[in-house]
Structure 1
């Protein structure tokens, strides 16, 4: 079969047909990665991945991250579980780029839909490069040389993740092992050289070198600008959908609008490189 890509919006996103991800060849892998660089988020319908299949697929693109807080598949700890029956998932209902609280944030993530609500539970992605390109030249010049602090505590606060003694110990260890890190506000993609905003409400606490008022004002501007509808794509999940996104040049938001329904996702997270600025 021939791999076909159908673009979904001008900014990012393509539906990919003509491939079984459990049978991917080396040529298929190269094609998928080229499409990832072009479209930033790839959507696959009708895939049937076991946790081992998903880990094997993700490992073709790099080493896998093991999350310090979320539960994992027992026999496959590289696969974290996002299950409304197990987790408080409100931290996903804000714009974020995965795991920017480490020195080498992920290259990408692969999300596998195990159980989805009958309605609701969509996920949106936004192109960080489209957002940067749409900024005025004076703002681009201002932010090109700035750095920001990213902090795990922003998305994993005590009031939701330290509700038991065991959870308190887990969260405390995660914070000890992952102190705040500094990344450029504008990241240059290592493979395409595109510039993209690298700040999100999920993990970015402050801009280095600015006053608290200046930092807050500039971050609020960038947060609001980067998630405008024209930079985004929205996906309505079906069971056995798989989505692969470039975490270096996108952010995403999981809608928390499906209460009393269950939603179960498995995620593999592929480690990347240390972000570099312009």
Structure 2
């Protein structure tokens, strides 16, 4: 495996070099994203050692990109399942022949939707948000339609110390009702919330494999649940709008370009990302052109 060392970039202790495979690794920024070549994910779906090497690279770079992956849907699903069980999406639904493979198709007769073009971490409205995802481009617009990913470990690392102290121990609610459910009729929205009640997560989570601290608030986050204490609230103004202003500040960190990597899609391009330590944003600057993507989301663990 050929890998360029990054000055000052310490890899997680779990990541170790391998000589068995000839994966070429090109980092795209100093903290997040790498393009892999010399590897086929169809092969990796059948080769445990090759898959293990890709998984180690994912922990290091947080999102991996590959071109020219002419793989079948069955291979796509089989590769993603090596990370763990796949999840369904209550709104998007799965391919009937390949459970867990969500078809994200934007057709000419489909008006623009506004749930992708927001910085978010997939499924934080679940008690166990997704561990990650494998996304393959089927059809891409002639121009536009890029996707951005954000390193939320770096976003936490570079917060001012006094903010880190302020948010230590804070917890927040995440809601599908307030996002996907907002466009639904009232009864349907209430049924969605009954099926997926608001989840509560730490504002700063710990990555279960690398030990990194991660700023874990995003577009699904609605409010803090344990902010209103004598230490934080002297007067009502400290809570409303004080708590909301702090949450807005934290969410806005994902918009800082220094924490981001941007990927231009081509047919059969693939992105694999660690959903525990990243956010992403699907840029919708191409309508009314067509874009068709297929995603396998991997079940995750409860953040701590």
TM-score range, shorter-chain basis?
A: over 0.9
For residue 184 of structure 1, the aligned residue among 199, 202, 217 is: 202
**1:30-179 → structure 2 map (5 Å cutoff):** 30-85=52-107, 89-159=113-183, 161-162=184-185, 169=188, 172-179=190-197
For residue 235 of structure 1, the aligned residue among 220, 243, 263 is: 263
Q: 1:77 to 1:174 in 2, by over 3 A?
A: farther
Q: Alignment length, in residue pairs?
A: 269
State the 1:212 CA deviation: 4.0
Confirm or deny that 1:252 pairs with 2:280: yes
- Runs of 4+, deviation exceeding 4 Å: none
Consecutive unaligned residues in structure 1, runs of 5 or more: none
State the 1:18 CA deviation: 1.1
RMSD over aligned Cα atoms: 1.7
In 2, the alpha carbon distance for the partners of 1:228 and 1:215 equals 21
State the 1:209 CA deviation: 2.4
Relative to its length, the structure with more helix (as a share) is: 1
For residue 16 of structure 1, the aligned residue among 4, 11, 36 is: 36
Are 1:49 and 1:112, in contact at CA under 8 Å, matched by a contact in 2? Answer: no
State the 1:207 CA deviation: 1.0
State the 1:49 CA deviation: 2.6
Residue in 2 that maps onto 1:216:
244
State the 1:144 CA deviation: 2.0
Q: Secondary structure at the match of 1:182?
A: strand
In 1, the alpha carbon distance for the partners of 2:167 and 2:65 equals 32
Are 1:95 and 1:253, in contact at CA under 8 Å, matched by a contact in 2? Answer: yes
Q: Over residues 19-70 of structure 1, what are the superposed CA-to-partner deviations in whole Å (9 max), with x where a residue is unaligned?
A: 1100111111111111000000000100023222111111001011111110
Q: Secondary structure at the match of 1:221?
A: helix
Residue in 2 that maps onto 1:195:
213
Are 2:177 and 2:192, in contact at CA under 8 Å, matched by a contact in 1? Answer: no
Q: 1:148 to 1:31 in 2, by over 3 A?
A: same
Are 1:109 and 1:268, in contact at CA under 8 Å, matched by a contact in 2? Answer: yes
Q: Secondary structure at the match of 2:70?
A: coil
So what's the TM-score if we normalise by structure 1? 0.92
Consecutive unaligned residues in structure 2, runs of 5 or more: 1-20, 228-238
Q: 1:145 to 1:270 in 2, by over 3 A?
A: same
Are 1:82 and 1:89, in contact at CA under 8 Å, matched by a contact in 2? Answer: no
Work out which structure has the larger RCO, using CA pairs closer than 8 Å and 6 or more positions apart in sequence.
1
In 2, the alpha carbon distance for the partners of 1:172 and 1:77 equals 26
So what's the TM-score if we normalise by structure 2? 0.85
Q: Secondary structure at the match of 1:92?
A: coil
Are 2:132 and 2:298, in contact at CA under 8 Å, matched by a contact in 1? Answer: yes
Q: Secondary structure at the match of 1:83?
A: strand
In 1, the alpha carbon distance for the partners of 2:240 and 2:276 equals 26
In 2, the alpha carbon distance for the partners of 1:38 and 1:111 equals 19
Q: 1:121 to 1:105 in 2, by over 3 A?
A: same
